[in-house]
Amino acid sequence: MDAAQGTAKKDVTVPTLGARGMLRWGWTQLTSMRTALMLLLLLAVAAVPGSIFPQRVQDAFAVATYIEDNPQLGPILDFFQFFDVYSSVWFSAIYLLLFISLIGCIIPRARKHYHQIVSPPPRTPRRLQRLPEYGAMEMAAGGPTPEQALADAEKVLKRRRYRVEVRRNDDGTGSVGAEKGYLREVGNIIFHVSLVGVLVFVALDAMFSYRGQKVLIEDEGFVNALVAYDNFYPGSWFDEEDLEPFSIRLDSFERTFDRQLFGGEPNPNYGQALDFVASLTVQDSPEDEPRQAELRVNEPLNLGGANVYLPGNGYAPVVTVRDGEGEVAFSGPVITRPDDGVYTSMMVIKAPDASPEQLGFVGLFLPTAHDTGEGLAVSIDPELGNPELHLNSYYGDLGLDDGIPQNVYVLDTEDLTELNSRESEAGGIVLAEGETQELPDGMGSIEFEGVQDYIALDIAYNPGTTWILVFSLTATAGLITSLFLRRRRAWVTVETIPGVAGTGSEEPAPGPDAKGSEHGRTLVRYGLLARGEDFRLRDENIALRTQFEKIWPVRPPEENNES
């Protein structure tokens, strides 16, 4: 016997799946809901490095600085595309696998649900008493016939939004099968379809969108061309020809600050910004007529399909720098960077064309300067009450001829020679509007001519935003539907009994009626079943019985008087 068993074991061979079987197995695993959820979680985890490390598409200079400051870790992260997370091979692979997995989940479920909708309700169980909710009603004398009871039950169930099917017997009795809650699965399918729609249009939006920044000084114009942007971040499939040729010119800029006084009481919000309004002249295309428009914070202007936002503003002092030979090395407005609520602003001036040495200036612009008495001045109000420049000056090689990108708001003074500062013998440069100061050693002069306003524009073109919103709303609606609707089944049976006597229970017992009638009575039974948990199934039972008792003369149960 043992030898026979050993022989049998040796003869058993495990069948091989083969290439087709492996592909089918892999497809089954990929299109399972568990895999889709795991991929969704993995996508969220994969997006985390994009918020930790600088991204090249947003700030290439920051990426270069990070790699330079981290010579060992930086190149490794760059090799694994941690500075290009959202366009990396591994992030795109997760994204595409999630997309395929969702589609593979949706199609079979939609097909199966369609067959359920077009199929009749399930057959009537033989014993409704075994269902979670059950009831029975005996009609009193003069009650409806079985045919009429079936018709009435059909109407009641239809009014309660059931899909019904009447199953009649030859003797007039029969049953009604009913089911509702199909929208629950429809909502589930809509949710997953909408999720696919969101993924599709997020991808399209990332490929065809663009975002750029531009600083506009008062009376300056801007045309929507690639070379006109200060910073520009295109999508992976962006084409320069897709830019709509609209134009913008800043006519004026108005700031409104809180100036309310409370008698003798101080106003803690005094001087805080209330509103910013940029008056613009815009032209939607070269063929259109220029028109006036206003741009406010959180109220973007739509031009050529792109939204134009107002994220910032400030002052641009007009400065003229002359070199040691008396030639104008720099002249024009200088963009400053506000650091506080009273517009104390950092200011950097670079004059690489100065001769015999390049000149650089760094310091502060104070809209309303106030001398503290300690050799320092501060701004006490954001409006132009007493504008002053407080600068240090340097000469030497500014590094602009090396071809290495520099931050225009930063002056690297490590390799420069100081001319003016508060600590030097020449002292710092302090200029009121209209004043000029000579630089030491005959290196030139600087003149403060006036102040202009500037605004920072953020221009974003996102072609998929509207559809992302639409699919997000439909996904929310589908999710709510699938969470709050319940799939329920109901059956009503109608039969005739020769006569019954009340027993005080819901289940009528056979026997002669109180009047000894020879005619049979109509007995209605009904049962309810939910697919999944349904804590309101009992309420549905009560609602159905209430509706039945309104249209039928139901015989009440009799008390049992046995002693």
Round to whole Å and give the CA distance between 322 and 328.
4
Across residues 413-439, what is the average pLDDT?
91
Is the per-residue pLDDT at 134 higher than 90?
Answer: yes
When mean pLDDT is compared across 45-59, 389-403, 512-526, the lowest value belongs to 512-526
Mean pLDDT of 396-418: 83
Q: Where are the beta strands (DSSP E) in 258-385?
A: 273-283, 291-296, 301-303, 306-323, 328-333, 337-338, 345-351, 359-366, 369-371, 377-379
Asked whether the CA dihedral 393, 399, 403, 407 is positive or negative, the reply is negative
Q: What is the pLDDT of residue 518?
A: 41
- Residue 512 has a pLDDT of 41
Q: What's the rounded Cα separation, in Å, for the pair 130 and 527?
A: 8
Strand partners, 168: 174
pLDDT over threshold 70, residue 303: yes
pLDDT band at 501; cut points 50, 70, 90: very low
Whole-number pLDDT of residue 557: 67
pLDDT digits (tens, 9 = 90+) for 86-102: 888 999 899 889 989 88
CA–CA dist 298, 313 (Å, integer): 14
What is the pLDDT at residue 290? 93
Tell me: pLDDT of 248 over 80.
Answer: yes
Mean pLDDT taken over the chain: 87
What is the structure's pLDDT at 263?
65
How high is the pLDDT of residue 3?
Answer: 52
Higher pLDDT, 266 or 121: 121
356-375: pLDDT as tens digits: 999 999 999 999 999 887 77
Banded model confidence at residue 499, pLDDT cuts 50, 70, 90:
low
Compute the average pLDDT of residues 324-351.
93
Q: How confident is the model at residue 174 (pLDDT cuts 50, 70, 90)?
A: very high
Average of per-residue pLDDT across 489-506:
69
| Cβ-contact 413, 424 below 8 angstroms | no
Q: Using CA atoms in the order 399, 405, 406, 407, what is the torsion angle rounded to 10 degrees?
A: 170
Q: What is the pLDDT of residue 307?
A: 94
pLDDT at position 506, please?
47
The widest CA-to-CA distance across the chain, in whole angstroms, is 132
Q: Would you say residue 243 has pLDDT above 70?
A: yes
pLDDT confidence of residue 391: 94
Local confidence band at 546 (pLDDT 50, 70, 90 cut-offs): very high
| Coil/strand/helix, residue 404 | coil
**Lowest mean pLDDT, pick from 42-46, 394-398, 403-407, 415-419:** 403-407
Mean pLDDT of all residues in 527-551:
91
Tokens 């200088």 -> residue? 334
| Residue 510 predicted with pLDDT over 70 | no
Q: Which residue has the higher pLDDT, 311 or 32?
A: 311
**Phi and psi at residue 377, to the nearest 5°:** -130, 145
Tens digit of each residue's pLDDT (9 = 90 or more) over 60-70: 778 888 998 89
Of 336, 318, 331, which is closest to residue 444 (Cα–Cα)? 331
- State the Cα–Cα distance between residues 264 and 165, nearest whole angstrom: 82
Q: How much of the chain, in percent, has pLDDT values that exceed 70?
A: 91
208-237, pLDDT tens digit by residue? 889 999 999 999 999 999 999 988 888 878
61 versus 250: which is more confidently predicted?
250
Q: How confident is the model at residue 312 (pLDDT cuts 50, 70, 90)?
A: very high
pLDDT at 406: 73
User: Which of the four pLDDT bands, split at 50, 70 and 90, describes residue 207?
Assistant: confident
- pLDDT reported for residue 492: 95
The pLDDT value given to residue 454: 96
